[in-house]
Amino acid sequence: MSEHRAKLAVLAAILLALAPRAARATQKFGPVQLSGNLQTANIVRTPDQNTYEYIMNRNIAHIQLDYDWLQSGKFYNKYDIPFIDSSRLLIKWRGVYDSIYDTTPGFIQKEDIHGRAYGGLDVFDFAKLKGGAGFARSALTVSGLSRRD
């Protein structure tokens, strides 16, 4: 058992060492600064040690524009603006894309925690067996949903 725990500890250390870091970038051009970062978050689920499936795959982008458009009472370094010494424009954008639907469906389980869930069949074959010959596989998929569903 201690050898198994040691292997798990080594595996966890390797996964932590190889985990991707967030990518960040900042560019400054005079009064204009553009910055942002990209992130990804992945979660998997596994019923046993040989198979796994993604349950979340999210990509996130943050972009920020910071513009000092009024400095020392001058707008665009050209026009005098009385009574205002400085002003700043700050625009932030956050975009999220869930790409889990691009990578699934994964494996089809034929067993659950109690044993053989569908008599050795996957969920589609089991539904076809119970629903008859006219039962379409697409009825159990996301693409099988109608607009009102």
Dihedral pair phi/psi, residue 128, rounded to 5°: -65, -40
Q: Check the CA dihedral 79-84-85-87 and report its sign.
A: negative
Tokens for 17?
Answer: 């060492």
Q: What is the mean pLDDT of the chain?
A: 76
Query: pLDDT by residue (tens digit) across 54-82?
Result: 778 889 999 999 998 888 888 877 888 88
In the chain, the amino acid numbered 48 is D
Q: How far apart are CA 101 and CA 21, in angstroms?
A: 24
Dihedral pair phi/psi, residue 137, rounded to 5°: -60, -35
